[in-house]
């Protein structure tokens, strides 16, 4: 059907991440103004979802809830994008602070389905944390995007759905994060294996970290998937040419999506596609997320 989600490409932008250093990457959006400006440019270029990590006054990653809530409000005021907060944070963040991200009342959140080596670090998401976070998303009606860094995490996603039922919004959407040193490689053979293992009816995006960006993007488009791009995932636009800004990554993804005859999905269509409810007014502060043992 022309114009339906079936023949459109959902583009998520991940503009900041928790790893890159502003002093080394001046184009990285780290202030609220920079983030909202980037978000507007990326929406105009074809993005429908923004995956958000924020920074503190010194540009270091933070999960401070009031700052996250201000960010959600500013992105809602300035754009139509679906606001997906990261619950992955930085490798140093505690489980309790990652659960408390939902207190900022985003539309959606990331939910990583297992622990993975992450370069020289470990990005920890044990089963006890995964199920706690998943149940919290259900209670709070925050739509999760299942982040899959490895094939074993797909098995955990099956276990999660079998034990706790469908997600808020009723639809399972995954993001294959490929090419992390320690996770699944960013190549088409692995992409094909991961997609084949997903739960029936699930939809998926893919992103390739660093030099795997282009192979994963072409593979995902060829296999009928959706795309995530942004400076969280790559800082090079081409060999030897740093990314000038997130919008050019979205523009390139949108152009390729148009070439394969699946143009970018607008934010309103993406809301229906992902089962994200209509925007809620900002509510009075809620209590802290249920306590768990610190990381
Ligand atoms: N920064 C990574 C350690 C997520 O946002 O949910 C985790 C991450 C995943 O980026
Ligand atoms: Zn992230």
Per-residue pLDDT tens over the stretch 165-175: 999 999 999 99
**CB atoms closer than 10 angstroms to residue 165:** 11
- What's the pLDDT tens digit per position in 121-167? 999 999 999 999 999 999 999 999 999 999 999 999 999 999 999 99
Helix axes 246-259, 213-222, angle to 10 degrees: 30
For the chain, the distance separating the N- and C-terminal CA atoms, rounded to the nearest angstrom, is 47
pTM of the model: 0.95
* pLDDT of amino acid 6: 79
Nearest residue by C-alpha to atom 1 in ligand 1: 90
HSE of 226, CA atoms in CB hemisphere, 13 A: 28
- What's the pLDDT tens digit per position in 169-197? 999 999 999 999 999 999 999 999 999 99
User: Distance from the CA of 88 to the center of ligand 2, in angstroms?
Assistant: 6
- What's the pLDDT tens digit per position in 72-121? 999 999 999 999 999 999 999 999 999 999 999 999 999 999 999 999 99
Which residues line the pocket of ligand 1, CB cutoff 6 A? 17-18, 86-88, 90-91, 110, 112, 118, 123, 147
Among residues 21, 173, 36, 139, the alpha carbon closest in space to that of 90 is found at: 21
Among residues 26, 53, 85, 94, the alpha carbon closest in space to that of 235 is found at: 26
**145 phi, psi to nearest 5 deg:** -110, 125
CA separation for the pair 111, 270 (Å, rounded):
18
* pLDDT of amino acid 219: 98
* pLDDT of amino acid 278: 82
User: Distance from the CA of 143 to the center of ligand 2, in angstroms?
Assistant: 15
User: Which atom of ligand 1 lies nearest, measured to the CA of 91?
Assistant: 3
User: Distance from the CA of 188 to the center of ligand 2, in angstroms?
Assistant: 22
Are 12 and 205 in contact by the 8 Å Cβ rule? The answer is yes
């Amino acid at each position: 059907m022309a114009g339906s989600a079936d023949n459109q490409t959902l583009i998520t932008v991940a503009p900041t991440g928790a790893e890159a250093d502003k002093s080394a990457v001046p184009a990285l959006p780290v202030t609220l103004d920079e983030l909202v400006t980037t978000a507007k440019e990326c929406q105009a270029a074809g993005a429908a979802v923004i995956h958000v990590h924020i920074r503190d006054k010194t540009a270091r990653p933070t999960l401070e809830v009031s700052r996250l809530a201000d960010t959600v409000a500013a992105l809602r005021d300035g754009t139509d994008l679906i606001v997906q907060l990261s619950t992955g944070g930085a490798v140093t963040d505690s489980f309790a602070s990652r659960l408390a991200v939902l207190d900022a009342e985003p539309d959606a959140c990331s939910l990583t389905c297992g622990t993975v080596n992450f370069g020289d670090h470990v990005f920890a998401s044990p089963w006890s944390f995964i199920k706690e976070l998943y149940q919290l998303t259900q209670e709070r009606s925050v739509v999760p995007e299942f982040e899959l860094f490895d094939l074993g995490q797909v098995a955990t996603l099956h276990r999660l759905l079998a034990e706790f039922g469908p997600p808020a919004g009723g639809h399972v959407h995954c993001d294959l994060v490929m090419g992390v040193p320690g996770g699944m490689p960013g190549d088409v053979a692995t992409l094909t294996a991961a997609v084949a293992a997903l739960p029936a009816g699930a939809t998926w995006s893919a992103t390739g970290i660093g030099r795997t960006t282009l192979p994963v993007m072409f593979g995902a488009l060829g296999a009928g998937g959706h795309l995530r791009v942004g400076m969280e995932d790559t800082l090079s636009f081409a060999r030897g040419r740093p990314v000038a800004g997130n919008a050019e990554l979205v523009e390139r993804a949108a152009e390729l999506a148009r070439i394969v005859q699946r143009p970018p999905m607008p934010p309103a269509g993406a809301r229906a596609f992902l089962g994200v409810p209509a925007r809620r007014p900002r509510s009075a502060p809620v209590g802290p997320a249920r306590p768990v043992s610190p990381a």
